[in-house]
Amino acid sequence: MEIKDYLSKWLFCIRLYYKDEFQEINNLHLVNPDFREFVKNNLTNTLYKCIKINGKYLVIHSKDYKLEILPEAIKIIMPNPKFEWGDKVQEVESPEIKGEVENIIWHMKDNEYKYYIKVNGKSKSRRYNPNELEFIKNNNG
């Protein structure tokens, strides 16, 4: 696969760095040196969207930050989710419940994305299946 083929794709990455009293996972060699300290000092995700190519690095982003990694850090290319972070959504069964997508996870057993939303600035603890949410409908005719 050529590096340009990763652009706009959703990616599941290997764990880039983790250390506790029992183990250390160190894949910092797959991270652009400009981002290694950030990765070493912050717990990073494994689900990202590739938004740009910078030379030999993929520029990936999660909800909260951007990183640059080598393609070798990609475990699998994921299907596109129905919703992305920040999308305005409502519950299908209770359309008066409106919010925005706060977080996205991949559920291995169900083989689909699950969504967490924020309503009126407060995170809901409920995890939504894709068919339980829809984009907010325009009521202006």
Per-residue pLDDT tens over the stretch 80-123? 999 999 999 999 999 999 999 999 999 999 999 999 999 999 99
Q: How far apart (Å, rounded) are the C-alpha atoms in residues 64 and 68?
A: 14
pTM of the model: 0.87
Does the structure show a pLDDT above 50 at 141? no
> Is the CB of residue 8 less than 8 Å from the CB of residue 80?
no
> Is the CB of residue 119 less than 8 Å from the CB of residue 88?
no
Torsion on CA atoms 107, 10, 13, 45, rounded to nearest 10: -70
* CATH top class, domain 3-78: mainly beta
C-alpha dist (Å) from residue 10 to 13, 16, 27, 33, 60: 10, 17, 20, 23, 9
